[in-house]
Amino acid sequence: MVDQTHLLEKPPEGASADWTIAQGWDRYTPEEHAVWDTLYARQIKLLPGRASKAYLRGLDALKLSEGGIPHFDELSERLMKLTGWQVVAVPGLVPDDVFFDHMANRRFVSGNFIRRPDQLDYLEEPDVFHDVFGHVPMLADPVFADYLEAYGRGGLRALELGALKQLSRLYWYTVEFGLVREDGDLRIYGSGIVSSSAESVFALDDPSPNRIGFDLRRVMRTDYRIDDFQQNYFVIPSFDELLRLTIETDFAPLYDEILPLPAIPVAQIVEGDEVIHHGTQAYAMRKR
């Protein structure tokens, strides 16, 4: 879960031209593996009944439950068989074009470092727990796998069209913080939610945030916050529908239409919204 904050301009010492580095699995300490295990144990208790079936299936198929930080080569081998995706290590945030290019080629970039034991609940840069536990299970789903590849190509195009911000909002409100309707109930699938114990509960159960039916144009106009729980979640009807909608729509005219329009402030309900839950915003407005 990221924004354009800590970006470097060229690959750091020791990284390849495409910004990838060795995972360095042998260098993880027992304490670092234990951080993974702690986070894993916490989430695995919360996710049944909250996470989407596609996510839970992926988690199972990839055998992330074996204990310790996963070895990217083993993970990639399983993933490759399922959907043709791989996981490659990067030193942290990489430039947008690099990020999109890897994605368009079915390579998911992941941080190789893990948060410290005093950062279990929150950190700003995507670590291996966020990237692998949060993102990779969805990549085992054939439909979502296609969506992310298409998103990578769309990202390269958005850069040319000057619409990075608009397309990034789509990523934020689907890949990072998306909800999906399943058998009539809401489920989480966004990586920022499924990798966070507090937000896994908040996103579904708390009266504070808005929960709004997904609308492409609306989402691409909506600001988001990167420093705390979301004030809006957007609900897709299904992954098939998300893929269909994004792949069949030519975004160029859409960008032309929305680029001149003002952004919709975080938490604002607008005309045309399918309001599933009108949030109280009590959490966002609390005194601190």
Chain residues in the site for Fe ion (CB under 5 A)? 1, 191
User: Of 170, 169, 179, 175, nearest to 234 (Cα)?
Assistant: 179
**Closest separation in Å from C-beta 16 to ligand H4B:** 14
Among 86, 168, 200, 210, interactor with ligand H4B by CB under 6 A:
168
For ligand PHE, the closer of residues 197 and 246 by Cβ is 246
Build a one-symbol-per-residue string for 76-105: x at contacts with ligand H4B by CB under 6 A, - elsewhere. --------------x--xx-x--x------
Q: Answer whether 86's CB lies under 8 Å from 108's CB.
A: yes
Residue 15 backbone phi and psi in degrees, to 5: -90, 155
Among 11, 70, 126, 137, binds ligand H4B (CB under 6 A): 126
Dihedrals φ, ψ of 27, to 5°?
-85, -10
Task: List helix spans (H) across 17-161.
Answer: 30-46, 53-61, 72-83, 96-104, 128, 136-139, 142-161
Minimum distance between the CB of residue 151 and ligand PHE, rounded to whole angstroms? Answer: 4
Q: Which uninterrupted H or E stretch holds 283?
A: helix 282-285
Spatial separation of the C-alpha atoms in residues 254 and 248, rounded to whole Å: 12
Q: Is 217 in the site for ligand PHE (CB under 6 A)?
A: no
State the binding partner of 191 from ligand H4B, Fe ion, ligand PHE, none, CB within 5 to 8 A by kind.
Answer: Fe ion
110-149 footprint of ligand PHE as x/- string (CB under 6 A) = ----------------------------------------
**128 or 179, CB closer to ligand H4B?**
128
Please report where in the chains the tokens 């010492």 appear, as a residue: 13
Give dist(CA 85, CA 75) in Å, integer: 10
Binding mask 233-252 for ligand PHE (x = CB under 6 A): -------------xx-xxx-
Residue 148 tokens, joined: 């992310």
Nearest to 173 by CA among 126, 128, 248, 226: 226
- Residues in 180-209 that interact with ligand H4B by CB under 6 A: none
Name the residues that contact ligand PHE, by CB under 6 A.
150-151, 154, 157, 246-247, 249-251
